[in-house]
Amino acid sequence: MSTPEDALDRAREALRAQRAAGRYPDPPAPDPPPSPADARRKLLEWAFIEPGAEVLRSTRRYGAPITAFKRLLYRALAQHLDVVVANQARFNLALLADLERIEARIEALEDERDP
Amino acid sequence: MIVHQLLSGAGPRDAITAEARAFRGRFAAWGWGGDDLAARIAPGLDGLFRSPAQLRVRDDDVLLIHHSAGLPGLDEILSAPGRKLLLHHNVTPAHWLWDHAPVVAAHCALGREQLPVLVRACDLAVGDSAFNAAELSALGAERTEVLPLLVDLAPLGPAGDPRVACAPAPHVLFVGRLSPHKRQDRVIEAFALYRDVRAPGARLTLVGEPLTDAYADSLRARAERLAPGAVRICSGLSPAQLGDVYRSADVFLCLSEHEGFCVPLLEAMTLGVPVIARAAGAVPEVAGKAAVIVAEEDPALISELLHLVVTDATLRETLIGRGRVRAAAFAPDPVAARLREVVLATVNGGG
C-alpha cells in the first residue's frame, strides 16, 4: 500500500529490483537533436508540391455531392493548376539551392576563422 | 456591457473555442452583448465566429483576446478603441512543430513574438494558470490574474462506479491532440514496456485530433512495432463517446512536455480515473496532490508506476478521491464569477 507522495519512491525501488533481474533494458539515451542534414532533407521534400484531389472534401453531413463537385472542378482546372504548381516548385528549389550556397559559404568562412 | 472575444483559431474540439462559447453563454446570462471572432475558423463554426475584419469596437467595449497562437493584423486590432483584456492560454513552442506542420509552427512562432506586444497593449493580463500568468509577469505585466479554464464536463456524463480494483487487462488512456509535444510516442514506449514486463493483456487508448494525418500514421506505426494490436488511436469522438472511454480506463497517463492548462487531467479526475502525469508546464499546478507527478523520462519507471497505480487498491482509492476533490475546485460557477470580476477590473482600468 502506498500514497501518491511515496508512489514514485516505491516505483523506483521496484524498478531497481526488476532491472537487477534483467527484466528492463537500460534507460534510453535522450533523443538526438535534429541535424542540419535532417532539416535540409525536410526542406527538399517540401520544395516539391504534389497536391491531389483526394484532400478536397466537404465536412457537411450530406457532403458527398459537394466533394464530387470540388474534385471535378479540380480536374477541370488541372491544366492551369499544373502551371502554378510547377512555377512554385521551381521557385522553392531555386531558393533551396541559394540557401545551400549560403550555408556552404558560411561554413567556409567559419573554417577560415577557426581552422 | 459589450464584450467581444477574439481567438487566433476556432475549431470543433478545441478547449479554447469551447471556453469562448461558454464565456458567451455567461455573458448573455449577465445581459452582456458582443461578437465572437476568430482569425481561422473551422468549417461548421462559421455561424458562431466571424472574421476579425468585422470587428467593431467602441470606447466603452471590452475586447477579450484569447491568446494561443499568432493573430494576423494584430497592430490594427490593438489600435481599435475600447479596453483590452489578454487571456493567455500559452503557445506551443514552435520547435515541436516545424518538422511536421510548418504552417502551424509559423502561427505558434508568431504567437510567441506577439505576446510581449499584447502584454504592453492590454489593460489587464490574465493567465488560465499560474504558469501562464508567470510568463506574462516575466514579459513585464505589472499586474496579472489567474482565471482557470471554464470547462463544462457535464456532456461527458456521470463518473460511474470507482474502479478501485482493475480488470486483468488494464486499460491505459491518454487524451490530447496527436502532436509531438504531447509525447504520445513516449506513452507508447512506456506502455509497451509495461505490457512486456507487467501486464501482457494491457491495452492503450490514445484519443485526440491529429496535427497531421502523417503524424497520426507515424504514431500508429510506432504502436504496431512496439505493442502490436494493443493500441487504439481514435479521433472525432463525441463528448458522450469520450466519457465512455474515460469510464473504461484504469489509469490516465500524460507525458506531455508542454501544457498551459491540460483539460484532460480534470476530465480524468472528474470521471474517477487515477492520473500519472509528467511535471511539465501547468500540470503540477492543475493536478495538485491528486496525481502521481513524475519528472524522470525513463519509460521503465513509468511502466513501474503504471503497475503500482493499477495494482495498489489503496493508492487508487486515494488518487480517485483526491481527484474528485481537485476537479471540483475548477467547477464552472466559481470560475464564471471570477471571469466577471476580471472583466469588470478591465473596465476599471486593469491596474
CB interface of A with B, residues 20-59, below 8 Å:
23-25, 27-28, 30, 34, 38, 42, 46, 59
With beta carbons under 8 A apart, name residues in chain A contacting B304. Answer: 11-12, 14-15, 18
Contact call for A18 and B294, based on CB within 8 A: no
Query: Which one of B304, B315, B317, B326 makes the best mutation probe of the A interface by having the most chain A beta carbons within 10 Å?
Result: B304
- pLDDT attached to residue B91: 95
Does the predicted TM-score (pTM) go above 0.95?
Answer: no
Cβ count near B336 (within 10 Å): 18
Checking if the pLDDT of A44 tops 90, the result is: no
Is residue B151 within 8 A of residue B264, CB to CB? The reply is no
Distance between CA atoms of residues A36 and B261, nearest Å = 33
Distance between CA atoms of residues A68 and A53, nearest Å = 10
pLDDT band at B166 (very low <50, low <70, confident <90, very high): low
With beta carbons under 8 A apart, name residues in chain B contacting A10. Answer: 308
Lookup: cell for B284: 503540477
Identify the closest residue of chain B to A46 by CA–CA distance: B102
Checking if the pLDDT of B283 tops 80, the result is: yes
B99 in contact with chain A, both atoms CB, cutoff 8 A: yes
Q: Is B86 helix (H, G, I), strand (E, B) or coil?
A: strand
- pLDDT attached to residue B241: 96
Checking if the pLDDT of A49 tops 90, the result is: no
pLDDT tens for each residue of B326-340: 999 999 999 999 999
With beta carbons under 8 A apart, name residues in chain A contacting B299. Answer: 28
- pLDDT attached to residue B46: 77
pLDDT tens for each residue of B176-221: 999 999 999 999 999 999 999 999 999 999 999 999 999 999 999 9
pLDDT tens for each residue of B13-71: 889 999 999 999 999 999 999 999 999 898 888 789 999 888 889 999 999 999 999 99
pLDDT band at B351 (very low <50, low <70, confident <90, very high): low
Distance between CA atoms of residues B77 and B282, nearest Å = 29
Cβ count near B207 (within 10 Å): 23
Closest Cα in chain B, distance from residue A28 (Å): 7
B291-294: strand order across its sheet? B231-234, B203-207, B171-175, B251-254, B275-278, B291-294
pLDDT tens for each residue of B221-262: 999 999 999 999 999 999 999 999 999 999 999 999 999 999
Count CA atoms within 13 Å of residue B143 on its CB side.
10
Is residue B275 within 8 A of residue B246, CB to CB? The reply is no
Distance between CA atoms of residues A110 and A107, nearest Å = 5
B194 versus B12: the higher-pLDDT residue is B194
pLDDT tens for each residue of B143-164: 999 999 999 899 999 887 777 6
With beta carbons under 8 A apart, name residues in chain A contacting B164. Answer: none
A29 versus B100: the higher-pLDDT residue is B100
Checking if the pLDDT of B79 tops 60, the result is: yes
B103 in contact with chain A, both atoms CB, cutoff 8 A: no
Q: Is B129 helix (H, G, I), strand (E, B) or coil?
A: coil
- pLDDT attached to residue B258: 94
Cβ count near A39 (within 10 Å): 12
Average pLDDT over residues A47-61: 78
Long-range contacts of the stretch B26-31 (C-beta < 8 A, 24+): B26/B150, B26/B336, B26/B339, B26/B340, B27/B3, B30/B1, B30/B340, B31/B1
Lookup: cell for B188: 507508447
Contact call for A12 and B307, based on CB within 8 A: no
If you ran DSSP here, which 8-state letter would residue B276 be given?
E
Long-range contacts of the stretch B339-342 (C-beta < 8 A, 24+): B339/B23, B339/B26, B339/B147, B339/B150, B340/B26, B340/B30, B342/B85, B342/B124, B342/B126, B342/B145, B342/B147
Is residue B114 within 8 A of residue B70, CB to CB? The reply is yes
B148 versus A30: the higher-pLDDT residue is B148
Phi, psi for A56 (deg, rounded to 5): -80, 120
ipTM over 0.90: no
Among residues of chain A, what percentage have pLDDT more than 90? Answer: 37
